[in-house]
Structure 1
Amino acid sequence: MTAQINATVAGVPRIGPKRELKKALETYWKDASTGRNLATVATQLVNQQADLIAGAGLDSVPTIGRSFYDSMLDTSALLGALPERVADVADHDNDGLPAYVDRLFAAARGTAELPASAMTKWFDTNYHYIVPELAADTEFRLDDAALLTDLADQVTRGTAARPVLIGPLTYLALARTTDGSDALVHLEEIFEAYARLLPRIAERGAAWVQFDEPYLVTDVDKDETRKADLLARTRAGYEKLVAAAGDTALLVQTYFGDGDLAVKTLSGTGIAAFGVDLVTGRTDERQADDTNIADEALLPSWTGEEQLLAGVVDGRNIWRTDLARALQTLKALAARGPVGVSTSSSLLHVPYSLAQETSLDDDAELRSWLAFGAEKIAEVALLSRALRGEETAEDDAAVAEAHEAVASRRSSERTRNAALRQRTGAITEADRHRNSFDQRREVQAKELNLPPLPTTTIGSFPQTTEIRQARAKLRKGDITEAQYHDAMVAEIKDVIGRQEALGLDVLVHGEPERNDMVQYFSEQLEGYHSTDLAWVQSYGSRCVRPPILFGDVTRPAAMTVEWFKIAQSFTDKFVKGMLTGPVTMLAWSFVRDDQPLGTTADQVALALRDEIDDLVDAGAKIIQVDEPAIRELLPLRRAQQPAYLKWAVGAFRLATSGVADDIQIHTHMCYSEFNELIGTVGDLDADVTSIEAARNGMQVLHALRDSGFELGVGPGVWDIHSPRVPEQSEVDTLLSDALDAVPASQLWVNPDCGLKTRGWDETTASIKVLVAAAQKARASVNA
């Protein structure tokens, strides 16, 4: 019988504390001869993380081996299910990299000839995954050499390695099919493939294997009959895996919601342990008081037959755990059955360590409220010792210190602004409404006098080496603020000139001064703290530093007005004012958990409302307030969605409803499925909404057509996430499809997303294609 797990974490990051993997990846993409370096860096990062976890006293180490882009994409490669179009990309044959690595990168990023696979958000997080592409006739062929090699290496090093695999239900539920078939018809095939894999894993010495099934915290299916069928098939599949695993114990891990459905479905199958999230959804209880929140109602389906790995340490936010309270929860659960300590989710979502965060060197109070990855590992270890009655005097002191830190955050004057709270208390429903769209549309048509199918871009233009170097020199003190300002003015002038030459109708200033669409604003708002080195992976080699939203949010001064005025001075065309919306400002931050999210969103909305007023005073006629994350934060259970949508839509409308009818409000959305939320897009009441569409095959067009959408809309006609310049015929076809779904009077022509990560050559060539497509379609509309 496999020994129980006392302490672990649900998953680990892979990009490196200093973004080492990012740098190695991007070097390899430019020069394939650096494959040996990429393999070495990836191996070193896996080893370092394993050593950190084991060194802290945790007795099981989750490992995904060397993951070079995304775990869902790794699963597609493992199952031999990478897209057929990349089949002819030559296998890598040396340097210690998996044989399929170049096919994997071709699917993730595209090539000059091949489009990339769709990418969307991982449940309700800001992490993105590459969507599997399947069909009714997809055949799954295990390609497990890389996984087994990495596992054997860890076991040889003495690591208590626990391979982590995406569970069959979750993998297929998040997949798409190219032929309209149901991906879940393959459920038994995936279970069979994993059943063949498990003995090979056991041979390499793994005592445990983890299957991630976060889909089991969702509603699973709207139809109760289909839901019951899927759950029954999932139960049968795991019974097969238990039989195939022999003496290797299986752990089913859920996160981002209540894990009771997983326990109910799979209890009694022989699964040895369930990992559950005991943090998500319990914010209101934590806000209320310090009472024990663990009782018999928690996980009612858990009878104690299997071990419970209790995720009492938050794996996706950076607040310190109230260890005393977490220990209460653990002891209450331990009275019902065997319990180990874990994180609520993978540590992929938080920075590596507070130790390297230099921005907190002079802020002991804020630092005392925080726990990054390494600190969370230490919290798990301490709680495990305490649960087993092995705590030391130092542990007791740490528990008391953590409880005091949580209380300090709750009562600190830094988190409360009386004037702002008085202002939010005075908000009325009228503050969230404009005049009707029909009325606004007529006024704006006269004011703006734009051609049919107006062309624009989403906001950012390439962040060139020169821009990044100027920013780095400013940080180091090598140039003055005035010199940096002059450099950015020159960049804006150049970007405006390029857009005019390309024939775009509505321009942007290109955002050269912005490091990130959330961080830029967080650095100018009270209540936020922006970090220096707290990197987390967003997708592939893309990393972000989510700011810490710890207190009430206010705007000391205008944030974007000067740059708008500079850009507008270089052209007679309209330049859009560019802001990030309140929901996205929350979603892409480490947000405070001591008050309802809707309260915080309204605070950010008021700051944006003031900024919009100042932009209008400066002459802006078109203002874009981006909300790419509004779908991302949607609760995973339908019963909880109406309350979220009410405050999310309300915050956006609070930010944007203070302007006159002649001001055109735009918004932008990307990286998510919007078909089921097309009504919400309408409820935002933006005059124009641009939506990522090219990368996901224009799926949103069906929703636009079926809903009778009446507002302005720009479904993206160019996927900007790969270095590939689209063919003219492709963009012509996408725009023609859009015109079939949306009247020409409503349609805008734009890329999927901003152009920050692209180079100028491909950007220029692609915009030429976009403008030519718009002009061709415009001529046919006018004919």
Structure 2
Amino acid sequence: MSIQSSNIGYPRIGENREWKKVLEKFWSKELTEAQFYVEMEQFRLNNLRKQQEKGINLIPIGDFSYYDHVLDTAVMFGLIPTRFKDEETGVLQTYFDIARGNKGKVASEMTKWFNTNYHFIVPELHNAKPYLRENRLLAMFNEAKDKLGINGKPVIVGPVTLLSLSKGYEDSERAEILAALVPLYIEVFQQLKAAGAEWIQIDEPILVKDIQEGILAEVKEVYGQFTANVPEVNFILQTYFESIEAYEEIIQLPVQAIGLDFVHGKETNLEKISKYGFPEDKILFAGIIDGRNIWKASLLEKAKLVEKLVEAVGEDRLVLQPSCSLLHVPVTLKSEKELDESIKDALSFADEKLDEITLLTKFFNGEVTLAELEKYDEAIERVKNSEYRNVTKVHEAIAKLDQYSSKRVSSKERKEIQENRFNLPLLPTTTIGSFPQTKEVRKERLKWRKGELSNEAYEQYIQAEIKRWIDIQEDLGLDVLVHGEFERTDMVEYFGEKMEGVAISKFGWVQSYGSRCVKPPIIYGDVHCIEPMTVKEAVYAQSLTDKPVKGMLTGPVTIINWSFVRDDISRTEVLNHVALAIREEVEALEANGIAMIQVDEAALREGLPLKEAKTKVYLEAAVYAFRIATSSVKDETQIHTHMCYSNFDDIIEAIDELDADVISIETSRSHGELIDSFEKYKYEKGIGLGVYDIHSPRVPSLEELTLNIARALAVLDERQFWVNPDCGLKTRGETETVAALEIMVEATKLYREKLINKVLN
């Protein structure tokens, strides 16, 4: 038997986001449900066909989704939130209602998939009574087999990970819920076996975290039942994103194969195999190609890694694959006609990563020569030695980094100075930054990019939009305004376009949540700025009003965490490059009269290492970079920041250490649970806990917003609390945006009156 190839998962969105367009047409009722299913089937089959043509031996089935793979698993097992169970909207509509909300019913919480920028829908298990609604894997397995002749590898989120990522149940209920789920998984597997499935991939990434003894006991019990009840099927216990914990126990589980990450968990996983060996009755699915970054792999280096693995387990027990699902990278490089060729030649998207897997597999099976691997690696060496990575200005700045200020005077002193400067009312109202990017805005930007609109005409259009929304904000009665970010495509992509050492692809889309896709910038060189990036728009907006207008920047940590980062130097060094560039922009805004500057760190927590032992180093680097970027301003200049979709309990001290004067945090979908963090930790700076969810196409009620404000003020001082939506409003429609903000301002005014009356009485 020779070495085989496998894939863990493939991007859903299509080469040009065709998947997204079909989703949104269905949501807007431009497609019937029957038409939707036909379109989605074609995407699914096309994805499988591409992997088949590339010669991948084990092709994943069931990684395709209409929205999110965790939601798929929960709905398949009847884990539908109670508030949606009485709906008569049909299976598909209920699925989307859970993700997006409907008829005044709040959508399920959304949070980050481990330490990636992909969001999953958090299953709610309150009063859970799981049952098998439909075996979606069976339908897709049969489809692939009948229409493409592919005997695929069904993929499913494992029960231990599913339960660990869910909410709405007590610890004492966990065993009961798991006991109800396991027979349903077994039923799914038995049906797949009867249909001819030979391999089944069960994803348990929870096993790379610092797992407790109870989790390990669950895993042993669950997989014992799987093997006992579904014999003659090869189960792959798949992990990724890090090295596994409890290696000695995990490798003894009664499964036929174990998938390990040899990119992000390389050294530890290799060390454990060397120290403890690998069972002779199991196959190792080795994740050797980075599924989360877009740089070409050095196939010579990967060949050395594979040689070590062959020595440890043997050729006949080794399968080569990416380190994780390719969901986290763009689909293909073939459409990228505008990237600098020297950069493009060093890149590898999903399709190219499958080519890398195939090349290595063929090399070890004697079908590709060493010279071909050497030829492949030449592009990597060229970009390493390019002028892009040898910018004197950046290297000199990094060499004297310790000479830059990273501290301001105490926050209490600053607060008094800023209160005197701004004279804001109690519970000041604001928004997070962006306003709706309408079809008209996108159309004008596209015309400008194509050269059909002059720079002057485009600038006039943007200024007109800024003025229109400054007027709207004034009419609404908001206290602190924003310019709306109409000139920006994405909060990171925009800055990537403005910075040197960063490239923007044309079709390098990656799914973030639902139909929302982003194009992560490609940090290929030494990052620096040549001219101001945001000053013109901010100054124009401020000239239109006497109220403060926030300058809007994306922070260095978020730029790094939402970009594809060069891999020849440490991420911390690249982070400091970006921090110095943002520092220059902060200083330019302040010098031009912008008195409030928001430096968003939406992605601070998602970069948190999965191993607790690595957390301190990451947070120290993140805090330092933010402070380098923001600490050179005057005391009267107010620094804001924003974070979204996170549980902050474990990093609340680091958030405090950022030393921002005001922080806004998403909390609406988590139903105020974030407030618990501030019951346990005394946070004294300004803070806005988002009072309504902007990711659902609904307008909140006055009662809902009043309740959310009251809930926050139960643990926060009214003199530090700001009222705002939980995130930017770019994806919302104008009518619903104005209506929601109108209610938010009204709820705030009512609460101000209540507080004033309380003082008077």
Q: TM-score, normalised by structure 1?
A: 0.93
Q: Does the CA contact (< 8 Å) of 1:576 and 1:621 recur in 2?
A: yes
Matched residue, 2:396:
422
Alpha carbons of structure 1 residues 734 and 91: separation in structure 2 relative to 1, 3 Å:
closer
Deviation at 1:181, TM superposition (A): 6.3
Matches within 5 A, 1:366-385: 366-385=343-362
Q: Distance in 2 between matches of 1:755 and 1:184?
A: 41
> Which of residues 189, 211, 214 in structure 1 aligns to 2:205?
214
Q: Does 1:659 align with 2:636?
A: no
Q: Deviations over 1:102-160 (max 9, x none)?
A: 1110000001321100000000000000000012x311101224332221111112112
Q: Deviations over 1:63-87 (max 9, x none)?
A: 2165100000001111111212112
Deviation at 1:413, TM superposition (A): 2.2
> Which of residues 301, 310, 318 in structure 2 aligns to 1:325?
301
The DSSP-based 3-state class of the residue aligned with 1:88 is: coil
Alpha carbons of structure 1 residues 296 and 240: separation in structure 2 relative to 1, 3 Å:
closer
Q: Does 1:357 align with 2:336?
A: yes
The DSSP-based 3-state class of the residue aligned with 1:515 is: coil
Q: Deviations over 1:486-525 (max 9, x none)?
A: 1111100001000000000000000000000000000010
The DSSP-based 3-state class of the residue aligned with 1:196 is: helix
Matched residue, 1:36:
34
> Which of residues 733, 755, 758 in structure 2 aligns to 1:781?
755
Matched residue, 1:90:
88
Alpha carbons of structure 1 residues 274 and 178: separation in structure 2 relative to 1, 3 Å:
closer
Q: Which runs of no fewer than 5 residues in structure 1 stay unpaired?
A: 93-99, 221-226, 286-292
Deviation at 1:190, TM superposition (A): 2.1
> Which of residues 143, 157, 169 in structure 2 aligns to 1:166?
157
Alpha carbons of structure 1 residues 475 and 298: separation in structure 2 relative to 1, 3 Å:
farther
Matched residue, 2:13:
15
Q: Distance in 1 between matches of 2:292 and 2:63?
A: 21
Q: Distance in 2 between matches of 1:299 and 1:116?
A: 47
Deviation at 1:301, TM superposition (A): 5.3
Q: Does the CA contact (< 8 Å) of 2:303 and 2:360 recur in 1?
A: yes
> Which of residues 251, 254, 258 in structure 2 aligns to 1:267?
251
The DSSP-based 3-state class of the residue aligned with 2:96 is: helix
The DSSP-based 3-state class of the residue aligned with 2:401 is: coil
Deviation at 1:406, TM superposition (A): 2.7
The DSSP-based 3-state class of the residue aligned with 1:764 is: helix
Matches within 5 A, 1:345-494: 345-360=324-339, 363-388=340-365, 390-393=366-369, 396-428=370-402, 431-494=405-468
Deviation at 1:697, TM superposition (A): 1.1
Q: Distance in 2 between matches of 1:294 and 1:265?
A: 16
The DSSP-based 3-state class of the residue aligned with 1:577 is: strand
Q: Distance in 2 between matches of 1:328 and 1:604?
A: 34
Q: TM-score, normalised by structure 2?
A: 0.96
Q: For 1:457, give the aligned amino acid.
A: T
Matched residue, 2:594:
620
Deviation at 1:19, TM superposition (A): 0.8
> Which of residues 554, 561, 581 in structure 2 aligns to 1:587?
561
Between 571-580 and 63-72, the greater mean CA deviation after superposition: 63-72
Matched residue, 2:278:
302
Matched residue, 1:289:
none
Q: Deviations over 1:289-329 (max 9, x none)?
A: xxxx9667658453343111111111110010111111111
Q: Does 1:101 align with 2:96?
A: no
Q: Distance in 2 between matches of 1:458 and 1:551?
A: 31
Q: Distance in 1 between matches of 2:271 and 2:696?
A: 50
Q: Distance in 1 between matches of 2:62 and 2:402?
A: 50
Q: Distance in 2 between matches of 1:692 and 1:576?
A: 19
Q: Does 1:200 align with 2:174?
A: no
Q: Does the CA contact (< 8 Å) of 1:198 and 1:244 recur in 2?
A: no
Q: Distance in 2 between matches of 1:37 and 1:301?
A: 52
Deviation at 1:671, TM superposition (A): 1.5
Deviation at 1:698, TM superposition (A): 1.3
Matched residue, 2:323:
344
Q: Distance in 2 between matches of 1:37 and 1:527?
A: 44
Q: Does the CA contact (< 8 Å) of 1:321 and 1:402 recur in 2?
A: no
> Which of residues 695, 698, 718 in structure 2 aligns to 1:721?
695
Deviation at 1:713, TM superposition (A): 0.5
The DSSP-based 3-state class of the residue aligned with 1:47 is: helix
Deviation at 1:260, TM superposition (A): 5.5
Matched residue, 2:61:
63
Q: Does the CA contact (< 8 Å) of 2:209 and 2:245 recur in 1?
A: no
Q: Does the CA contact (< 8 Å) of 2:277 and 2:312 recur in 1?
A: no
Q: Distance in 1 between matches of 2:4 and 2:175?
A: 35
Q: Does the CA contact (< 8 Å) of 1:10 and 1:275 recur in 2?
A: no
CA RMSD, 1 decimal: 1.8
Q: Does the CA contact (< 8 Å) of 1:521 and 1:559 recur in 2?
A: yes
The DSSP-based 3-state class of the residue aligned with 2:78 is: coil
The DSSP-based 3-state class of the residue aligned with 1:148 is: helix
Q: Does the CA contact (< 8 Å) of 2:138 and 2:188 recur in 1?
A: no
The DSSP-based 3-state class of the residue aligned with 1:308 is: strand
Q: For 1:246, give the aligned amino acid.
A: P
Alpha carbons of structure 1 residues 195 and 252: separation in structure 2 relative to 1, 3 Å:
same
Matched residue, 1:288:
none
Deviation at 1:745, TM superposition (A): 0.9
> Which of residues 108, 119, 132 in structure 2 aligns to 1:117?
108
Q: Does the CA contact (< 8 Å) of 1:693 and 1:752 recur in 2?
A: yes
Deviation at 1:610, TM superposition (A): 0.7
Q: Deviations over 1:159-215 (max 9, x none)?
A: 121111001111111111167865565223222221121111112221111001111
Alpha carbons of structure 1 residues 183 and 514: separation in structure 2 relative to 1, 3 Å:
farther
> Which of residues 183, 186, 190 in structure 1 aligns to 2:177?
186
Deviation at 1:33, TM superposition (A): 4.5
The DSSP-based 3-state class of the residue aligned with 1:523 is: helix
Q: Does 1:772 align with 2:749?
A: no
Q: Does the CA contact (< 8 Å) of 1:462 and 1:758 recur in 2?
A: yes
Q: Does the CA contact (< 8 Å) of 1:120 and 1:130 recur in 2?
A: yes
Matched residue, 1:96:
none
Matched residue, 2:288:
312
Between 315-324 and 235-244, the greater mean CA deviation after superposition: 235-244
Identity of aligned residues (%): 40
Q: For 1:82, give the aligned amino acid.
A: I
Q: Which runs of no fewer than 5 residues in structure 2 stay unpaired?
A: none
Matched residue, 1:224:
none
Q: Distance in 2 between matches of 1:300 and 1:568?
A: 64
Q: Deviations over 1:551-597 (max 9, x none)?
A: 11101100000000111111111000000000000011001121111
Matches within 5 A, 1:692-731: 692-731=666-705
Q: Does the CA contact (< 8 Å) of 2:666 and 2:726 recur in 1?
A: yes
Q: For 1:767, give the aligned amino acid.
A: L
Q: Distance in 2 between matches of 1:67 and 1:131?
A: 16
Q: Distance in 2 between matches of 1:384 and 1:32?
A: 45
Q: For 2:150, give the aligned amino acid.
A: T
Q: Does the CA contact (< 8 Å) of 1:21 and 1:38 recur in 2?
A: no
Between 503-512 and 473-482, the greater mean CA deviation after superposition: 473-482
Q: Deviations over 1:16-37 (max 9, x none)?
A: 1111110011000010752233
The DSSP-based 3-state class of the residue aligned with 1:177 is: coil
Q: Distance in 2 between matches of 1:538 and 1:450?
A: 36
Q: Does the CA contact (< 8 Å) of 1:209 and 1:250 recur in 2?
A: yes
The DSSP-based 3-state class of the residue aligned with 2:363 is: helix
Matched residue, 1:97:
none
Q: Deviations over 1:22-68 (max 9, x none)?
A: 00110000107522332122111211111111211111101216510
Between 5-14 and 532-541, the greater mean CA deviation after superposition: 5-14
Q: Distance in 1 between matches of 2:272 and 2:81?
A: 47
The DSSP-based 3-state class of the residue aligned with 1:316 is: coil
